[in-house]
Structure 1
Amino acid sequence: QGGQLVILETSQPDSPLVKPFWQLYFGHVMPLFGRVFAKGKYQEYKYLDETTEHFMDYMTLGQLLLKSGFKKVRISRFNLGAAAAHYATK
């Protein structure tokens, strides 16, 4: 049967209508919420935004899994594309 892999990652929405609002929320609002509601965790949420912005998109990650020998790669997107789950078998 092989091993199962599941990856859940934050991602960037594709829609040009949604993306600016997502960037505002993820880049500015969430870090402020982190400061207020998560005991001053502003930098941690800012870091999450920065790494998400520079990480490969969901399709590139899916292609990388295929090139790495995984089979039956399936991708589910959530929250207007702001998160993606990758399921694969090796």
Structure 2
Amino acid sequence: MANTPQSKKRARQIERRTDINKARRSRIRTFLRKVEEAIASGNAEAARDALKAAQPELMRGVTKGVVHKNTAARKVSRLAARVKALATA
């Protein structure tokens, strides 16, 4: 339990940041799920559009410190490869 005024303030700040980060993470997952669903449906056009929308959202998560840079790059790369394979098939 926080005792000093400084630790009480840090606890309040952490609580606030946790809510914000949770919302950001959830938003990113939603965008990624839309790409996954578009790929699963086999619609190349929708998958490309969903990927274009998801990419900046993922990178915004990187700048905000919610997602690691390499994790975001890996996810974008794998999704892009799947969308490309869908378009050529």
TM-score scaled by length of structure 2: 0.33
TM-score scaled by length of structure 1: 0.33
Which structure is higher in helix share? 2
Larger radius of gyration: 2
